[in-house]
């Protein structure tokens, strides 16, 4: 899953990014509000970690513009301001959670996981599609009760598909989840990752189905089993 981190203090941004990457997330890092606003308008993120005190455009304005565009991705705001009125202002603008500086990286990671679980899995810990199970807390897949070994790119594609049961995802949408801002998105590469995933899923009554001209859908092929969420 792809997360945007907007923090203008380089050492802190690096520490947060490393913690989130260690948790298996793909992280884009930006340092000012204008760049963040442009990225949020054009890219597809699962979550936003947003500092309040940013140059050029503060975090409150970035958040307001995001919600005005109808984007519902969860937002965790970081702030050095301790005043209740600032926290209330951010929550009223549409922030999902607040974390005051200084904070422990373990707490930030836990809050990010909780927000992602609430947003992508409706609060549940697992997503199931037939015998394929994804655990959001560990960010691991299992297939027929056995661990499924994936590359980071394959993981990103399969996460995007299983998080959207019953929905077809285009190659462009999948590329947006796989490639960061500093990478060149490639729809041809998505075809390669899908091909590799199909080989790993082969024979287990779950498949990635192609809808020509539209994209891909993850589907349980056994008639009695459907994609669902587990508590």
Any residues with CB less than 8 A from the CB of 45 and at least 6 apart, and which?
2, 3, 4, 28, 73
Mean pLDDT, to the nearest integer, of 169-198? 87
For residue 13, the model assigns a pLDDT of 95
The b-or-e profile of 103-123 (16+ CB within 10 A means b, else e) is eeeeebbebbbbbbbebbbee
Q: What is the mean pLDDT of residues 40-61?
A: 93
Weakest-pLDDT range from 9-23, 161-175, 177-191, 214-228: 214-228
Among 9-23, 79-93, 97-111, the minimum mean pLDDT is found in 79-93
The pLDDT score that the predictor gives to residue 226 is: 53
3-state secondary structure of 62: helix
- What pLDDT, on the 0 to 100 scale, is given for residue 67? 95
Average pLDDT over residues 9-33: 92
Is pLDDT of 228 > 70? Answer: no
> At 212, is the secondary structure helix, strand, or coil?
coil
The pLDDT assigned to 82 comes to 66
Q: Does the pLDDT at position 18 exceed 90? A: yes
Domains, in order of start, for the chain = 2-121 (3.40.50.2300), 126-230 (1.10.10.10)
pLDDT at 111: 93
Least confident of 77-91, 173-187, 214-228: 214-228
Under 8 Å between Cβ of 40 and 4 = yes
CB 8 within 8 A of CB 166: no
When mean pLDDT is compared across 43-47, 117-121, 147-151, 216-220, the lowest value belongs to: 117-121
pLDDT confidence of residue 117: 81
Rounded to two decimals, what is the model's pTM?
0.72
């Amino acid at each position: 899953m792809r997360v945007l981190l907007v923090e203008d203090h380089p050492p802190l941004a690096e520490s947060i990014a490393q913690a989130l990457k260690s948790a298996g997330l793909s992280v884009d890092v930006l340092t000012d509000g204008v760049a963040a606003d442009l990225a949020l308008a054009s890219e597809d993120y699962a979550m936003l970690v947003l500092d309040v005190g940013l140059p050029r455009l503060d975090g409150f304005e970035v958040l307001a513009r995001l919600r005005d565009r109808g984007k519902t991705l969860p937002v965790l705001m970081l702030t050095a301001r301790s005043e209740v009125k600032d926290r209330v202002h951010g929550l009223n603008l549409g922030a999902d959670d607040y974390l005051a500086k200084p904070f422990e990286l373990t707490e930030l990671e836990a809050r990010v996981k909780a927000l992602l679980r609430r947003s992508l899995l409706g609060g549940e810990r697992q997503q199931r599609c037939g015998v394929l199970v994804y655990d959001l807390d560990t960010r691991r897949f299992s297939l027929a009760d056995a661990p499924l070994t994936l590359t980071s790119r394959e993981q990103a594609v399969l996460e995007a598909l299983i998080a959207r049961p019953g929905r077809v995802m285009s190659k462009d949408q999948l590329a947006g989840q796989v490639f960061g801002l500093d990478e060149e998105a490639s729809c041809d590469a998505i075809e390669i990752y899908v091909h590799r995933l199909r080989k790993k899923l082969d024979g287990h009554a779950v498949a990635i189905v192609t809808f020509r001209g539209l994209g891909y859908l993850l589907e349980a092929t056994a008639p009695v089993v459907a994609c669902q969420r587990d508590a």
